[in-house]
């Protein structure tokens, strides 16, 4: 069982029309955030079926697959990697290290959002988290998104929000829309799953300076009157 077998399975069901749509949706044009990414046109359920079929792929072959120019091959590599991480505790350190060595290939928001909480976040849940702060200060868009998305595991599994707030502060003035959305989303998750009061404590001293998209995502679940006050700057 090799990475090339996964590639063949993808080729057998690729959909050029769907691929063209996905390449527009995921901003693969010149100067866009995923410039040059290539799609085969698979749906996520189709990718999951293939990942399940090749779930026993060795880590070296998963890494080879992750190096592919084809988006769905990288997605399937990450799906398989997550299953390895869940089922093989003795491999978790190796998987975590391999993940961080290959962030250049985890280079679109769907890839990050799928994998960062389930690999990086879960591995660091009971460990020191210095690496997340290094990623948050990276010049690489996807490493910054990995840093904040990884904290979802702490929120969901540990009821912890301190790292979410600290990394949000690092990213507060970031210029990219995909970081604004990611930070706002994680702040919203703190309010939803742990404490809206704690989320508001964070927001009250920052909401006037944070990007509008970040704020909108963060307060999405607030009751309408309070949400409008935040948007008008009246809190």
Residues of CATH 1.25.10.90 domain(s) within the chain? 116-235
Percent of the residues in the chain that have a pLDDT greater than 70, as a whole number = 100
Query: Which pLDDT band, with edges at 50, 70 and 90, does 11 fall under?
Result: very high
Q: What is the pLDDT of residue 189?
A: 98
Q: What is the pLDDT of residue 24?
A: 95
Contact 133, 166 (CB under 8 A): yes
Across residues 23-45, what is the average pLDDT? Answer: 94
Residues of CATH 1.20.1660 domain(s) within the chain? 1-104
Give pTM, 2 decimals.
0.95
Across residues 46-57, what is the average pLDDT? Answer: 96
CATH number of 1-104: 1.20.1660
pLDDT of residue 1 exceeding 90, the answer is: no
Q: What is the pLDDT of residues 196-228, one digit of tens each?
A: 999 999 999 999 999 999 999 999 999 999 999
Which fold is adopted by the domain 116-235?
Answer: 1.25.10
């Amino acid at each position: 069982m090799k990475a090339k077998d996964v590639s063949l399975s993808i080729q057998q069901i690729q959909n050029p029309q769907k691929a063209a749509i996905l390449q527009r949706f995921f901003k693969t044009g010149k100067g866009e955030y995923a410039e040059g990414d290539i799609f085969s046109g698979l749906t996520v359920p189709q990718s999951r079926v293939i990942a399940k079929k090749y779930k026993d792929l060795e880590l070296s072959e998963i890494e080879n697959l992750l190096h592919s120019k084809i988006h769905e091959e990288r997605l399937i590599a990450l799906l398989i990697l997550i299953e390895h991480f869940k089922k093989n505790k003795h491999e978790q350190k190796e998987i975590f290290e391999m993940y961080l060595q290959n962030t250049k290939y985890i280079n679109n928001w769907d890839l990050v959002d799928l994998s960062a909480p389930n690999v990086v976040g879960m591995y660091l849940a009971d460990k020191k988290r210095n690496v997340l702060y290094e990623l948050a200060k990276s010049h690489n868009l996807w490493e910054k998104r990995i840093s904040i998305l990884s904290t979802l595991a702490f929120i969901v599994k540990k009821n912890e929000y301190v790292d979410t707030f600290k990394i949000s502060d690092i990213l507060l003035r970031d210029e990219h829309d995909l970081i604004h959305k990611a930070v706002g989303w994680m702040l919203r998750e703190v309010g939803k799953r742990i404490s809206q009061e704690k989320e508001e404590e964070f927001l009250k001293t920052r909401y006037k300076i944070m990007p509008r998209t970040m704020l909108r995502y963060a307060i999405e679940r607030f009751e309408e009157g309070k949400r409008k006050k935040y948007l008008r700057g009246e809190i």
